């Protein structure tokens, strides 16, 4: 039986939704605020979706047009035959081109790294960047979730594991069916214990789909295989090409997904020509979900200078 959409204090549904065509994919975007206002494009992290900005967006939309993107393979955007970092960067470019005017970029986690890299490519289309804990994994990690290691130490070994996982997943691109929405909440809570159950129920509802026997995630299972092996030391040097000023934001509290060690983070950010730093108190990796008002206050002060 269908259930009513959960409510959450401070969360506001988008005022408009639409699709942006992106080289064979349809990207689902959510919008708040005056369509004529200066645009702000928000990009989420891996396995998340654009409705994760439902608490932050309304706090910014009095002054800006907020556009939150469901990344390719996430939310209600199209699935693809493969996923890699450059494709996501080009998708951000398609959204910027659709807007037809320079925009600010806000990105969280994977989205933070991608808006930063996209701004090195689409420099004339980007005004300022807010990167929320999107500075990559520690130097001793491969590409994958924190605390999850494959045992591989060389790039060829990592490629072998990556391709084998991708081959297996491509044969059966299905998630397990969870009997109840609350089962999805508990699964996500195991990864993000700082996030409250009421928020995760709201978040999971919009990131999942009800089927005959229960609930499944909307995200393409192929994304769980990753983007392929790389060296974390590659993160940072290319940021010297940024023209847009950056606000680099982290939460004050250690969390499952971050922040990375301060020396590593500062070393990578040393390549950014114009960077300011902010720490959100009593927040972990998902500061825009845990402390949306505090994040909005810092973001507005930065964007309106």
> Which residues fall within 8 angstroms of residue 29, CB to CB, at 6 or more apart?
17, 18, 19, 20, 50, 67, 68, 69, 70, 95
Mean pLDDT of 205-218: 95
Two tokens at 85? 């970092």
Contact 19, 27 (CB under 8 A): yes
Global pTM value: 0.94
CATH of domain 11-136+235-305: 3.40.50.1820
Mean pLDDT of 62-84: 95
At residue 150, the pLDDT reads 52
> Which residues fall within 8 angstroms of residue 168, CB to CB, at 6 or more apart?
none
pLDDT tens, position by position, 27-40: 999 999 999 999 99
Share of the chain above pLDDT 70, in %: 95
Contact 247, 278 (CB under 8 A): yes
Mean pLDDT of 253-264: 92
At residue 152, the pLDDT reads 59
Of 201 and 226, the one with more pLDDT: 201
- Banded pLDDT at 146 (limits 50, 70, 90): very low
Task: Give, in order, the Cα–Cα distances in Å from 193 to each of 34, 75, 200.
Answer: 35, 22, 10
At residue 246, the pLDDT reads 98
- Banded pLDDT at 133 (limits 50, 70, 90): very high
Contact 244, 119 (CB under 8 A): yes
Residue with structure tokens 């990009």? 43
Contact 73, 99 (CB under 8 A): no
Given strand 126-132, what is the order of strands in its sheet?
A: 16-22, 25-32, 65-69, 39-43, 103-108, 126-132, 246-251, 275-280
How do the domains of the chain map onto residue ranges?
Answer: 11-136+235-305
> Which residues fall within 8 angstroms of residue 121, CB to CB, at 6 or more apart?
89, 93
At residue 148, the pLDDT reads 44
> Which residues fall within 8 angstroms of residue 232, CB to CB, at 6 or more apart?
136, 137, 138, 139, 140, 141
Round the average pLDDT of the chain to a whole number and report it.
92
Residue 176, judged by CB atoms within 10 A of its CB (0-12, 13-18, 19+), counts as exposed
Greatest mean pLDDT among 2-6, 259-263, 288-292:
288-292
Mean pLDDT of 52-81: 97
């Amino acid at each position: 039986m269908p259930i009513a959409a959960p409510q959450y204090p401070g969360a506001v549904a988008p005022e408009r939704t639409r699709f942006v065509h992106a080289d064979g994919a349809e990207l689902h975007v959510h919008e708040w605020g005056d369509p004529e206002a200066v645009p702000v494009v928000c990009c989420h992290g891996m396995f998340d979706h654009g409705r994760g900005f439902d608490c932050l967006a309304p706090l910014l939309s009095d002054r800006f047009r907020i556009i939150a993107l469901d990344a390719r393979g996430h939310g209600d955007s199209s699935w693809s035959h493969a996923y890699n970092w450059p494709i996501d960067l080009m998708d951000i470019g398609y959204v910027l081109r659709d807007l037809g005017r320079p925009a600010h970029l806000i990105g969280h986690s994977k989205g933070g790294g991608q808006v930063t890299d996209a701004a090195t490519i689409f420099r004339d289309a980007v005004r300022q960047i807010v990167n929320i804990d999107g500075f990559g994994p520690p130097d001793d990690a491969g590409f994958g979730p924190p605390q999850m290691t494959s045992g591989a130490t060389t790039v060829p070994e990592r490629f072998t594991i990556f391709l084998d996982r991708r081959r297996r997943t491509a044969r059966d691109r299905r998630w397990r069916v969870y009997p109840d929405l609350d089962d999805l909440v508990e699964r996500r809570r195991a990864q993000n214990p700082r996030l409250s159950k009421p928020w995760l129920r709201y978040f999971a509802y919009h990131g999942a789909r009800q089927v005959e026997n229960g609930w499944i995630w909307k995200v393409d299972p192929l994304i769980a295989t990753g983007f392929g092996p790389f060296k974390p030391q590659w993160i940072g040097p290319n940021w010297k090409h940024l023209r847009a000023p950056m606000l680099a934001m982290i939460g004050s509290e250690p969390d499952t997904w971050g922040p990375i060690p301060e020396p590593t983070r500062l070393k990578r950010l040393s390549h950014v020509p114009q960077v300011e730093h902010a720490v959100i108190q009593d927040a972990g990796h998902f500061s825009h979900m845990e402390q949306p008002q505090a994040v909005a206050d810092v973001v507005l002060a930065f964007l309106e200078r």
